[in-house]
Amino acid sequence: MTTLVLPSNREEGWRWSDLSQLPKLAQRQPTGVAPDDFQWIGTEREGPRLVFVDGQLDAARSQVGPLAIGPVDVTASDHPLGALAGRSGWKLKLGRDHAPHGLVQIVHVSTGAADHLAAEVELDVDAQASIVETYVGDGWANRLTGMRLFKGARLMLSRRLIGSSGFVSLTDRAEIGEGASLIVATLAAGGADTRLDGRCEIRGEGAYAEAAAALLARGRQRHDANLAIRHDVARGMSRQVWRSVADDLSACSVAARVEVARHAQKTDGEQSLKGLLLARSATINAKPELEIFADDVKCAHGATVGELDRHALFYLQSRGIDPEEARALLTRVFVADALDRIGEEAVRTAFYADVENWFGQSQAWVVPSEVEGRVR
């Protein structure tokens, strides 16, 4: 790649972004050294497993199953990062009533440089799938994912971003048909910065779309999310549950939007954006937006930013629980609203374990005491 054109903070959708490490990562050479442990989630029925190292399929360590590798039908030419992802990658296309055997697991390993990959999930009438994507490593993983759900199809997509450093940018484009259901749950609990972008269009009556995310940040980390769910037809339902946790000098920013077209009557849309500041020097930005053109809708949104309850912290400590563990316990409760949306217990358990790990690593960060923070 020769020139990397990135959006500036002056653009509304990117005002809280920090893409400053991307040019550097884009010029690096990957080491290609993958870890031994791919963090597979143990399930009763082992499903397809894909390993991508720096955006390339590691065939020896993958069991492709019903998935395919090659050109995919998804574009995001209007999106500066999504457009970089290219038009080839993995594809899961399921016919009517089909479901893969077990959980689909995809591990993306980035080894110090930039890698780009696209993906496409297309579920025909009443097909269903559950996919877990795990991002590890320390490069820049840039992804574009297209999702098309036909009538009655169901997709649960769970993502965990647990790389040690670097950047993960995910751009999603989803279309949901009549009575179909899409749930995307995201956990950012590593050291990488993130940019999560999504646009989800409800195209069929009675469809359900949900985005649930727990974003944990510390040090100087940045998580930055921008999601829009659009209701184009009547009787759709959407839920957005965002839980941001920021410590030290980090920042979590969430711009979440619900759009209701004029004829999308009886839409039921809810957004809940909550932030938890573990330090006064951290920043949480929350911008819930509603754009409603229909008159008979039920839409609610709320955004709050707070700190851990001091009374609860003391109560826990008075019973012998050390301050770190007390903070971890209360923070775990805080993100539970988002993580509990994950259907499969094994997946949920693995994601909670990542949250515990995040706390286990917390001593690594020491904020200089002279730094005076701001709380926006």
Partner 1 sequence: MLKIINLHASVDEKPILKGISLAIRPGEIHAIMGPNGSGKSTLSYVLAGRPGYEVTEGSMTLDGEDLLELEPHERSARGLFLGFQYPVEIPGVSNVQFLRTAVNAQRRARGEAELSAGEFLRVAREQAGALGFDMDMMKRGVNVGFSGGEKKRNEMVQMGIIDPRLAVLDETDSGLDIDALRVVGEGINRIMRKPDKAVLLITHYQRLLDLVRPDFVHVLAGGRIVRSGGADLALELEREGYGEMAA
Looking at beta carbons only, is 329 or 346 nearer to partner 1?
Answer: 329
Among 45, 310, 364, 370, binds partner 1 (CB under 8 A): 310
316 near partner 1, rule: CB under 8 A: yes
Q: How far, in Å, CA of 86 to CA of 132, rounded?
A: 22
Looking at beta carbons only, is 27 or 317 nearer to partner 1?
Answer: 317
Looking at beta carbons only, is 70 or 320 nearer to partner 1?
Answer: 320
CA atoms 310, 312, 316, 322: torsion sign = negative
312 near partner 1, rule: CB under 8 A: yes
Q: How far, in Å, CA of 171 to CA of 117, rounded?
A: 11
* E strands present in the chain: 46-53, 56-57, 68-71, 88-94, 103-110, 114-123, 128-137, 140-149, 154-161, 167-176, 181-188, 193-202, 208-217, 222-231, 237-246, 251-260, 268-277, 283-292, 298-307
Number of residues that bind partner 1 (CB under 8 A): 21
Q: How far, in Å, CA of 168 to CA of 140, rounded?
A: 6
Looking at beta carbons only, is 293 or 314 nearer to partner 1?
Answer: 314
Strand partners, 185: 158, 212
CB 347 within 8 A of CB 41: yes
318 near partner 1, rule: CB under 8 A: yes
314 near partner 1, rule: CB under 8 A: yes
329 near partner 1, rule: CB under 8 A: yes
Only one of the segments 99-107, 217-225, 310-318, 345-353 lies at the binding site for partner 1 (rule: CB under 8 A); that segment is 310-318
Q: How far is the CB of 268 from partner 1 (least distance, A)?
A: 25
Q: How far, in Å, CA of 136 to CA of 108, rounded?
A: 6
Only one of the segments 178-186, 223-231, 276-284, 314-322 lies at the binding site for partner 1 (rule: CB under 8 A); that segment is 314-322
Only one of the segments 155-163, 241-249, 279-287, 332-340 lies at the binding site for partner 1 (rule: CB under 8 A); that segment is 332-340
Q: How far is the CB of 240 from partner 1 (least distance, A)?
A: 20
6 near partner 1, rule: CB under 8 A: no
Across 347-358, b (16+ Cβ under 10 Å) vs e yields bbebbbebbeeb
Q: How far is the CB of 321 from partner 1 (least distance, A)?
A: 5
320 near partner 1, rule: CB under 8 A: yes
Looking at beta carbons only, is 293 or 315 nearer to partner 1?
Answer: 315
- The string of DSSP letters for 47-62 reads EEEEEEETTEE-GGG-
Q: How far is the CB of 318 from partner 1 (least distance, A)?
A: 5
Q: In what order do the strands lie in the sheet with 56-57?
A: 56-57, 46-53, 103-110, 128-137, 154-161, 181-188, 208-217, 237-246, 268-277, 298-307
Spell out, one character per residue from 336 to 355, where the chain touches partner 1: x when CB under 8 A holds, - when not.
x-------------------
Interaction residues for partner 1, span 126-185 (CB under 8 A): none
Contact residues for partner 1 (CB under 8 A)?
309-312, 314-323, 325-326, 329-330, 333-334, 336
